[in-house]
Amino acid sequence: MTVTVAVLVGYLAILAALAIWSRDETHSLKGFYLAGKKLPYWVVAFSTNATGESGWLLLGLTGMGYAYGAHAYWVIVGEMIGIGLSWGLISRRLKRFGDETDSITVPDILSAKFEDRLHVIRAIAVVIIVVMVTTYVSAQMVATGKAFSGFVNVDYRLGVIVGAIIIISYTFVGGYKAVSYTDVVQGVLMLAGLIVVPIVAVQAAGGWGGVVSSLDRLDPEFMNMFAKLDGSAAGLIAVVSLAAIGLPFLGVPQLLIRYMSARDDDELRKARLVSIVVLFIFLMGAVTAGIAGRALFPELADREQVFPTLASELFPPLVTGVLFIIVLSAIMSTVDSLLLLASSAIVRDTMQKIVGSEKSDKTLAAYGKAVTIVIGIIAVLVALFMAENKLIFWFVLFSWSGLGAAFGPVVLALLLDKRTTGAGVAAGMLGGFLTSVIWVQFFKDAAYGLYEAIPGFIVGALATVIVSRLPLK
């Protein structure tokens, strides 16, 4: 434990240095929320992946591999399709449109083309972002508590509080630039951990043959990726739902602003390849680690503790400490971006655009820092009252799908269909968001667990297209 704490202190020193180095960019809204749109490709690539994966990658997805075996590889199929389409269809178009309209936030993008005097589009976007981000961050705070509990035997609630203080502090000081460069550090650590841990775990289980042999005794279908495709509707839906986890890559705002922050179009083209390759390694490593963990430790009480268990049982204390930092990195790299996203929705979109505040850019940036702290505190309070054993994987998916269904269809329509109208954008956001939420509450169980992003995207797309073609004045 002493070694792990020492590694943590060293890691925090790096984050503090990056925050202090970045603080000069935080005196304007564009600087605080987008690092002045000057980031190089390697920062954009790693920041995109680190932000998109979060604590669910090392705790939730490894737990999915532990529980469901090769079936979890369908998540990889879906995410690779999703990220590929996002980079191919959206990234460069969004960057160009954002620069042309001097946009800082996704609501800026959505409302830039239309005369929306009542700020309906922006208001809808703000409400969705704030509600879903609070839920999302709370889930990540739960992951923080689990990480501290699993690695250093710290009380869950104390772990939530300590993790929150760390994340909020460097986000407050350094803004988006600090967040992006710490994402690089965190992304490299995650990449290393998701290469080393599954390799060592598989070797400890007697090689891949030993893993398969052990798990075949547990369940002959455990290592059959296609076992669910047995001709039944339930099996098909189970596979499609996992693959559809990649769908929100087309719309979650915390990733879209990564494209907007790039230095130029050429940087985005180079970032695309790096991002796709690194994401594939992330996902393969996580699922494989979970599967190997099931072969080694088949009776874990909490499947989402499989990565901490592998780290503590298979490695010396120093490496275990580093792996603890890697789990924290996965969490922090998403939470910091979500905090900035919610803060920008309140300060830039609500105070400056909807309310019409005439305060200086520097003053509003200072407000942004304060709002970041407040949102973080609210998320911590929610996490403290959540059940400690809440499954991170499914809770994060709910937030991920809500944001993706709300913004994915309308962003695609805005960038690809010139007939898209402001009314269509508003209808699409509401339709996608409400459908995903209502589906979870009332229809998901009866539909064999069909992932809520699927009906959300369908309704959001139809609402956008149909309302855009109505003869509205």
The predicted-structure confidence for 221-231, as pLDDT tens digits, reads as follows: 999 999 999 88
Distance CA 395, CA 135 (A): 8
Distance CA 332, CA 325 (A): 10
Mean pLDDT of 148-176: 79
Q: Can you name the residues that pair with 262 across neighbouring β-strands?
A: 39
Please state which of the ranges 148-162, 257-271, 276-290, 385-399 shows the lowest mean pLDDT: 385-399
The predicted-structure confidence for 71-116, as pLDDT tens digits, reads as follows: 999 999 999 999 999 999 999 999 999 999 999 999 999 999 898 8
Q: Give percent above pLDDT 70 in the chain.
A: 97
Average pLDDT along the chain:
88
Distance CA 469, CA 463 (A): 10
pLDDT confidence of 157, banded at 50, 70, 90? Answer: confident
Q: Residue 197 above 90 pLDDT?
A: yes
SS (H, E, C) the chain: CHHHHHHHHHHHHHHHHHHHHHHHHHHCHHHHHHHHHCECHHHHHHHHHHHHHHHHHHHHHHHHHHHHHHHHHHHHHHHHHHHHHHHHHHHHHHHHHHHHCCCCCHHHHHHCCCCCCCCHHHHHHHHHHHHHHHHHHHHHHHHHHHHHHHHHCCCHHHHHHHHHHHHHHHHHHHHHHHHHHHHHHHHHHHHHHHHHHHHHHHHHCCHHHHHHHHHHHHCCCCCCCCCCCCCCHHHHHHHHHHHHHHHHHHCCHHHHHHHHCECCHHHHHHHHHHHHHHHHHHHHHHHHHHHHHHHHCCCCCCHHHHHHHHHHHHCCHHHHHHHHHHHHHHHHHHHHHHHHHHHHHHHHHHHHHHCCCCCCHHHHHHHHHHHHHHHHHHHHHHHHHCCCCCCHHHHHHHHHHHHHHHHHHHHHHHHHCCCCCHHHHHHHHHHHHHHHHHHHHHHCHHHCCCCCHHHHHHHHHHHHHHHHCCCCC
Q: Give 133 or 435, the one with higher predicted confidence.
A: 435
Q: Give 32 or 456, the one with higher predicted confidence.
A: 456
At position 345, the amino acid (one-letter code) is A
The predicted-structure confidence for 65-83, as pLDDT tens digits, reads as follows: 999 999 999 999 999 999 9
What domains sit in the chain, N to C, each tagged with a CATH number? 2-468 (1.20.1730.10)
Q: Residue 381 above 90 pLDDT?
A: no
Q: Give 16 or 226, the one with higher predicted confidence.
A: 226
Of 286, 312, 283, 284, whose CA–CA distance to 297 is shortest? Answer: 312
The predicted-structure confidence for 198-210, as pLDDT tens digits, reads as follows: 999 999 999 999 9
pLDDT of residue 389: 47
The predicted-structure confidence for 397-418, as pLDDT tens digits, reads as follows: 778 889 999 999 999 999 999 9
**Residue 217: how many CB atoms within 10 A of its CB?**
10
Distance CA 155, CA 167 (A): 18
Q: Residue 264 above 70 pLDDT?
A: yes
